[in-house]
A and B are shown apart, each in its own frame.
Chain A
Amino acid sequence: QQPVQSPQAVILREGEDAVINCSSSKALYSVHWYRQKHGEAPVFLMILLKGGEQKGHDKISASFNEKKQQSSLYLTASQLSYSGTYFCGTFGEGAQKLVFGQGTRLTINP
């Protein structure tokens, strides 16, 4: 079952913060985050495993709330290079495939 991402699109000014949410109706084993710039291949950001962990590098971090079957991606002090479409992918219990959400389009303006 496809996870639901929110918001579908967001426009920010450089330096502002953004939060992208990913929700599933099923219990999850892991949540994967990817970013795709226009005309390019999706690029891996991070994986969060069951256990309610939080991860981050540079100014991009994420949390995974196992009980709520939710993950959130946090982009702080956004830079122009953060623009793109962000996808979350989930592995649900009993599932053997990585299912992606519909994506969140992030636009960072100067």
Chain B
Amino acid sequence: KAGVTQTPRYLIKTRGQQVTLSCSPISGHRSVSWYQQTPGQGLQFLFEYFSETQRNKGNFPGRFSGRQFSNSRSEMNVSTLELGDSALYLCASSFARANGLINEKLFFGSGTQLSVL
């Protein structure tokens, strides 16, 4: 069974640009979560999608948005990039149930390393 696939692996952008990251979950998984990872900050929750609906959202500005398609693939978009957006962006998929991820194992992708110059 293929794992969680994130593309691209690396991205270099300049301030003010926008970027779209892609995540293909494990087949059959309906939930996709996105996290931002920076040194010393751990994994900061961005949002979670379940059956094409945003189920939960973290404390990030509106420049960060996402969506999920009917095949469970998900995209994350960051507009008007800032230097502080440089980070590793991880997505994680889970089979999930309607009542959330309380007892669900997450499968992480290898991430997209975004550098903003």
Contacts and interface: CB of A to CB of B under 8 A. Distances in A.
Interface residues of B, number: 27
Interface string A1-19: 0100000000000000000
B101 A91 contact: yes
B58 to A, nearest CB: 7
A108 interface: no
A44 B45 contact: no
Contact of A41 (B56, B102, B111): B111
B49 interface: no
Nearest to A104: B42
Interface string A37-63: 000111110010100000000000000
Interface in B34-63: 35, 40-45, 48, 55-56, 58
A47 B90 contact: no
Contacts of B4: 41
Contacts of B40: 102
Contacts of B107: 44
A67 interface: no
Question: 4 closest A-B pairs (Cβ-Cβ)?
Answer: A102-B42, A100-B43, A41-B108, A97-B56
Interface of B: 4, 33, 35, 40-45, 48, 55-56, 58, 90, 92, 100-111
Given A47-B104, A91-B101, A102-B41, 11 more contacts: A2-B42, A34-B106, A34-B108, A41-B4, A41-B109, A43-B108, A96-B55, A97-B45, A98-B45, A98-B106, A102-B40
14 contacts: A29-B102, A32-B106, A41-B108, A42-B90, A44-B106, A47-B105, A49-B102, A49-B103, A91-B100, A96-B55, A97-B45, A100-B35, A102-B41, A103-B43
